[in-house]
Amino acid sequence: MRTNLLVANWKMYKTPAQAAEFVREFLPKISNKSDEIVICPPAISIPATVTALEGSRLGAGAQNLHWEKEGAFTGEISAPMIVAAGCSHVIIGHSERRQYFGETDTTVNKKLRAALDVGLTPIVCVGELLEEREAGITDDVLRRQCSIAFREISGEQARKLTIAYEPVWAIGTGRTATPQIAAEAHATIRAEVAKALGDELAQKLCMLYGGSVKPENIVELMAEEEINGALVGGASLDPKSFAAIVNYRSAKA
Ligand code: PEP
């Protein structure tokens, strides 16, 4: 059985004080006792978030990392630093990193290996642009992103791998992929993982959907067998709305 995972990606929102305030408001609202819940604040707010989460069963994650352990890389943070700050997870290859900061499939691969080396759970984001979907090449794009990302990774190391399918046209746009679109893409990704890392790992792989997830669509998305959780941007910034998402199991249909 795969454990479901619900992740908040706060992007460049929330100071340390705002992060701590969110956690104080959010924790008492959670009724979900079975799924994993992780909050990924901006790096500067990780310590405040980790401190506020102490004593809860929630985890914290970073939104990015550098593949070197240390060095002259101004402005970057490394995998061992993320672990030392108390994080269990790290997002890799988010489409905003690819679009605005020149991240490529090759850098995603380097970052993924660095994260796995220190025991972090990497959340690798893949997904097609609107033009790519309209050109009918979604599967090719997903296969390329996955095959490069998983180079030189052993099946043993990859047990922690988590993938988020995030169609770029659905991120922050209010447009959500239908559960069927998401499930089809997940099946393509799972097949690619099976090729690169073996069938057993592919069957156990935790795969998230991301792209305008909100309280109104989480139940329908989570009803899909292929969807094992969600990566949530905008709707995770408000404790009430993120609580409504993580509490999807008790939502009325
Ligand atoms: C994201 O940040 O990964 C994301 C999916 O954003 P949003 O939920 O706002 O579309």
Mean pLDDT in each 10-residue stretch from start to end of the chain (253 residues)?
A: 90 98 98 96 98 98 98 98 98 97 97 97 97 95 96 88 95 89 94 93 94 95 94 98 97 68
**What confidence score (pLDDT) does residue 199 get?**
93
| Residue bearing the CA closest to ligand 1, atom 4 | 233
**What confidence score (pLDDT) does residue 156 get?**
82
**What confidence score (pLDDT) does residue 2 get?**
73
Distance 57 CA to ligand 1 centre (A): 23
Model confidence pLDDT, tens digit, residues 64-104: 999 999 999 999 999 999 999 999 999 999 999 999 999 99
Question: Which class is domain 5-252?
Answer: alpha beta
Query: In 186-252, where do the E strands start and end?
Result: 206-210, 229-232
**What confidence score (pLDDT) does residue 172 get?**
87
**Exposed, middle or buried by CB within 10 Å (0-12, 13-18, 19+), for 200?**
exposed
- Give the residue from 226, 229, 207 showing the smallest Cα distance to 218: 229
Distance 169 CA to ligand 1 centre (A): 10
Q: Is 186 a catalytic residue?
A: no
- Give the residue from 203, 205, 138, 120 showing the smallest Cα distance to 177: 138
Q: Which SS3 state, helix, strand or coil, does residue 18 take?
A: helix
Distance 157 CA to ligand 1 centre (A): 27
Taking the CA of residue 170 as reference, the ligand 1 atom at the shortest distance is: 10
| Residue bearing the CA closest to ligand 1, atom 1 | 233
Q: Is 94 a catalytic residue?
A: yes
CA distances from 52 to 22, 29, 130 (A): 9, 15, 38
Domain boundaries, the chain: 5-252
Decide: 230 in ligand 1 pocket, CB within 6 A. no
Distance 71 CA to ligand 1 centre (A): 31
Which residues have a Cβ under 8 Å from the Cβ of 177 and sit 6 or more positions away? 167, 170, 185, 209, 211
| Residue bearing the CA closest to ligand 1, atom 5 | 211
**What confidence score (pLDDT) does residue 253 get?**
55
**What confidence score (pLDDT) does residue 208 get?**
97
Distance 170 CA to ligand 1 centre (A): 8
CA dihedral 158, 161, 178, 30 (to 10 degrees): 150
* Separation of alpha carbons 205 and 192, rounded Å: 12
Model confidence pLDDT, tens digit, residues 108-124: 999 999 999 999 999 99
**What confidence score (pLDDT) does residue 157 get?**
84
Decide: 210 in ligand 1 pocket, CB within 6 A. yes
The catalytic residue among 103, 132, 166, 192 is 166
Tally the C-alpha atoms within 13 A of residue 124's C-alpha that lie toward its C-beta: 31
Q: Which SS3 state, helix, strand or coil, does residue 30 take?
A: coil
The catalytic residue among 89, 94, 186, 192 is 94
Reported pTM = 0.96
**What confidence score (pLDDT) does residue 237 get?**
98
